[in-house]
Amino acid sequence: MSSLEERDVGVAAAPGSSSAGLGVGAVGVAVEAVAGVAAMQEEVAIRREGPEPDPDEPPKKRVKLPEGEAGKLEERLYSVLCCTVCLDLPKASVYQCTNGHLMCAGCFIHLLADSRLKEEQATCPNCRCEISKNLCCRNLAVEKAVSELPTECTFCLKQFPRSSLERHQKEECQDRYTVTQCKYKRIGCPWQGPFHELPAHESECSHPTKTGTELMGILGEMDQSHRRDMQLYNSIFSLLCYEKIGFTEVQFRPYRTDDFITRLYYETPRFTVLNQTWVLKARVNDSERNPNLSCKRTLSFQLILKSKVNSVLECSFLLLKGPYDDVWIKPVIHHHSFSNDTNETDYVPLPISDSVECNKLLAAKNINLRLFIFQVQK
């Protein structure tokens, strides 16, 4: 057997044999191929598993996503960061309930105002947990994330981060129309538009061709509006010249009527101004039965004299926003002659701009305003 094996090996290794050369070459190629495949598989496995992280190695930069994938990511972020009530991206403050559900400032205030009108505890629309200004907090991370999301300028249609969009539209955009007005504005032209459309509009503006009678009517309306504003300011300056002037911060507190269907109203504790005792009351939508079902909301108030007086007390008064409040109230002067028989004024509207401002007041625990009273000297 040993001789046969040696002979076979010798035959296989004989250099003159062509078949033996082909066999050795094929075996070598096969071995190299197997080794190459094994090396490739090992490299792929290392790539998949990744090398062991080095704690001293600095963090790697994020791989920039392709443009299509980035767009999809932005769409997904819109759905994740939107308000749970209006399903829109918040424009300012973002509040969250105790379970993390997000609400924009407008919807959050509206929920609190509705709960005040219904005499119910406000709850999160998603998880029904209780919400209030004490229980909910702002989510600064979401606010910053939303501010960096791109949005489109309504004038030039270019993409900008939401945080810089307002400045761009007011100061930088070449197509903005917030400050571009027709040169014939002084004779009543209300046009506002992009700067590049201004020459075309002014060449076709109809106001220069109006008759004198038409222009006098337009100018009369503008003068009347200006006179009303000047009359208000002059009246306030005249009141500041009075000898007896008093003012105080008042706090409206919420109460309920004793009716079968209770109604919300506000009342202040008694306070003293000009050596007299007073009380302020306020009501929502003029005591409408279900003000929570109405989108339009207003507040009206009355001033009540609690002291007894020996003679008629003629006064002017006005309410303004209190310190540290962000509610805008237009000054309106009211007049009343107080006596023991007529110690209450009629309910007069609180001059706030819209229902959003009213919801801010209703959502607060108390309404804090400042009252000025001027005693008219005879």
Residue written as tokens 């003029």? Answer: 286
Please state, rounded to an integer, the average pLDDT across all residues of the chain.
80
Assign residue 284 a region: left if phi > 0, alpha if psi is -120 to 50, beta otherwise?
A: beta
Helices (H), the chain: 2-13, 18-49, 67-81, 105-118, 140-148, 162-167, 198-204, 212-239, 355-363
Tell me, yes or no, whether 97 and 187 share the same domain: no
Asked if residue 23 is part of any domain, the answer here is no
pLDDT reading at 178 higher than 60: no
Asked if residue 172 is part of any domain, the answer here is yes
- Residue 8's pLDDT is 44
Number of domains present in the structure of the chain: 4
Tell me, yes or no, whether 113 and 193 share the same domain: no
- The domain that holds 334 is classified in CATH as 2.60.210
Identity of the amino acid at 257: T
Closest CA relative to residue 109, chosen from 81, 128, 90, 82: 90
Q: How far apart are CA 336 and CA 7, in angstroms?
A: 135
Tell me, yes or no, whether 178 and 280 share the same domain: no
Query: Which residue range is the domain that position 235 belongs to?
Result: 213-239
Percent of the chain with pLDDT over 90: 32
Asked if residue 34 is part of any domain, the answer here is no
Tell me, yes or no, whether 171 and 293 share the same domain: no
Asked if residue 64 is part of any domain, the answer here is no
With b for 16 or more beta-carbon neighbours within 10 A and e for fewer, the 6-35 pattern comes to eeeeeeeeeeeeeeeeeeeeeeeeeeeeee
- Residue 159's pLDDT is 84
Element (H, E) at 316: strand 313-321
Tell me, yes or no, whether 309 and 367 share the same domain: yes
Tell me, yes or no, whether 181 and 247 share the same domain: no
- Residue 32's pLDDT is 57
- Do 353 and 328 form a contact (C-beta atoms < 8 A)? yes
Q: How far apart are CA 320 and CA 272, in angstroms?
A: 18
pLDDT reading at 283 higher than 90: yes
Beta carbons within 8 Å of 298's beta carbon, 6+ residues apart: 284, 285, 286, 349, 350, 352, 355, 358
Tell me, yes or no, whether 248 and 371 share the same domain: yes
Tell me, yes or no, whether 195 and 312 share the same domain: no
pLDDT reading at 11 higher than 70: no
Asked if residue 3 is part of any domain, the answer here is no
- Residue 66's pLDDT is 53
Tell me, yes or no, whether 260 and 336 share the same domain: yes
Q: What are the pLDDT digits (tens) for 338-367?
A: 999 999 999 999 998 888 888 889 888 889
Asked if residue 249 is part of any domain, the answer here is yes
- The domain that holds 132 is classified in CATH as 3.30.40.10
Tell me, yes or no, whether 251 and 367 share the same domain: yes
Q: Which whole number is the average pLDDT over 69-85?
A: 78
Asked if residue 46 is part of any domain, the answer here is no
By three-state DSSP, how is residue 72 classified? helix
Tell me, yes or no, whether 118 and 93 share the same domain: yes
